[in-house]
Structure 1
Amino acid sequence: MLSNEVTVHVNRGESDTLELESADGDRLDLEVSRSFRLTLRGHETPAHVHCRLDGGLSHIASIDHPNYYVGPGDVTSVPVEIDADGVDALVEGQLEVLTGYGSESVTVEVIVTPGSARIDVDESLAEPSRDEPEPPVLERVSSAAQVDPGTLAVGALGLFAIAIATMTAMTIASPAALVGLGAVIVGVAVAGLLLVR
């Protein structure tokens, strides 16, 4: 069975009993190429459960805490960490789960297969890329013309004001509109001279 999880029912039906899910009897074969999880599901009565690794599995795998208290209705996850670096052949071993001071046990026969090539990731992956993002259009134009971006923006706003004033003067076609257009042109010219100085 190729999986990354094994479930053991604790005290289902009567005290001091363990039952492997998806298994015949008290033994299960499990094939993995990476770490997996043992799930302990509590039923009628609480129990103390001990987990241990035997055989070749004890050399490449570890369990942080071997002893667990499983209450009724509890679901306890036990990570089984496998360090498969350098494993180039099958490794066989057992994960044994015990309760009732060792009077009841189930065994999971674990076969660790060599995984795909591992990619080493160093801390530089977390650092942002050194490539600078492309600057906005206004900054590119201002650097090409060697003009401050603020000055360029004010100049563009001035040209927009002259365009609006010109359209207004042409639409109204009165001497007052032409005087207003002249005032806008003079104002923009004076602002431009002050910015460039």
Structure 2
Amino acid sequence: MSESLPVRLNRDRLHDIETRASFETTDSFAVMVHNGDAPVHVHLHLDDALSAVASIPANNHFVDADSTRQVGVEVEEGGPRPVEGQLKIVTGHGAETDYVSVTIAEPEEEEPVAVDETLAERSATPGDADDEEDAGFEFPTAALRQNGPVAVLGLLALAVAAGSASLADGVAVFAGSLAVLGSLVAAGYLLAR
């Protein structure tokens, strides 16, 4: 989903509408309705040009005080582009009306990635087995070199926590030691992944 279109209601006065003058997208988007201090009904309507390629599942929405409501605008894939039209925003059953000029632009084409036959070839790295029969488990020495200092510091922290827990007769020290142990277990798990 593209960037969202912010709409602020009831900011300065009841039924007040603040939004952008224009909005451009290439895909479906959300209208983020931020409401101030009074509950309000808001009506969202796409003009004929936008309705040809986009839709809003429901037009009328209740937005409670001091809350935000997300309203999705679904844009059809593969439809005509660019399309320009108006999104109409109405509050207070017609008390206030504002318009946003919406442009649904052509999506930018992504550059193709060149792929040749060398992608399928296996590159030889030091420590690789020559054939599948010899391809057993290898101890991850590179990972051990990278994570060894972290493991040593973890063991040191565990020793300090265990020593503190054995010397002090406090629940807080014991709970802190458990927290250190839990952190070390989580860190070990992340290092092993």
Q: TM-score, normalised by structure 1?
A: 0.53
2:4 aligns to what? Answer: 5
Pick the aligned partner of 2:71 from 58, 65, 78: 78
1:91 aligns to what? Answer: 83
Q: Does 1:103 align with 2:102?
A: no
Q: Deviations over 1:143-186 (max 9, x none)?
A: xxxxxxxxxxxxxxxxxxxxxxxxxxxxxxxxxxxxxxxxxxxx
User: How many angstroms does 1:31 deviate by?
Assistant: 1.4
Paired residue type of 1:98 = V
Please say if residues 4 and 32 of structure 1, whose CA atoms lie closer than 8 Å, have aligned partners that are also in contact: yes
The alignment partner of 1:19 has SS state of strand
Between the aligned partners of 1:63 and 1:117, the Cα distance in structure 2 is 26
Between the aligned partners of 2:32 and 2:79, the Cα distance in structure 1 is 28
Which residues of structure 2 form unaligned runs of 5+? 111-128, 134-193
Higher-Rg structure is 1
Between the aligned partners of 1:84 and 1:93, the Cα distance in structure 2 is 17
User: How many angstroms does 1:38 deviate by?
Assistant: 0.6
User: How many angstroms does 1:85 deviate by?
Assistant: 0.7
Q: Deviations over 1:102-150 (max 9, x none)?
A: 12111110111111459xxxxxxxxxxxxxxxxxx9xx65xxxxxxxxx
Please say if residues 53 and 79 of structure 2, whose CA atoms lie closer than 8 Å, have aligned partners that are also in contact: no
Q: Does 1:59 align with 2:58?
A: no
2:122 aligns to what? Answer: none
Which residues of structure 1 form unaligned runs of 5+? 119-136, 142-197
Pairs within 5 Å for 1:119-130? none
1:18 aligns to what? Answer: 17
Between the aligned partners of 2:89 and 2:75, the Cα distance in structure 1 is 17
Q: TM-score, normalised by structure 2?
A: 0.54
Between the aligned partners of 1:71 and 1:86, the Cα distance in structure 2 is 35
Q: Deviations over 1:7-47 (max 9, x none)?
A: 11111122122111xx4xxxx11111111111111101110
Q: Deviations over 1:54-98 (max 9, x none)?
A: 0311110011121111111111011111114142x4211111111
Paired residue type of 2:102 = V
Between the aligned partners of 1:86 and 1:45, the Cα distance in structure 2 is 39
- Number of matched residues? 121
Pick the aligned partner of 1:115 from 107, 118, 143: 107
Please say if residues 55 and 92 of structure 1, whose CA atoms lie closer than 8 Å, have aligned partners that are also in contact: no
1:39 aligns to what? Answer: 32
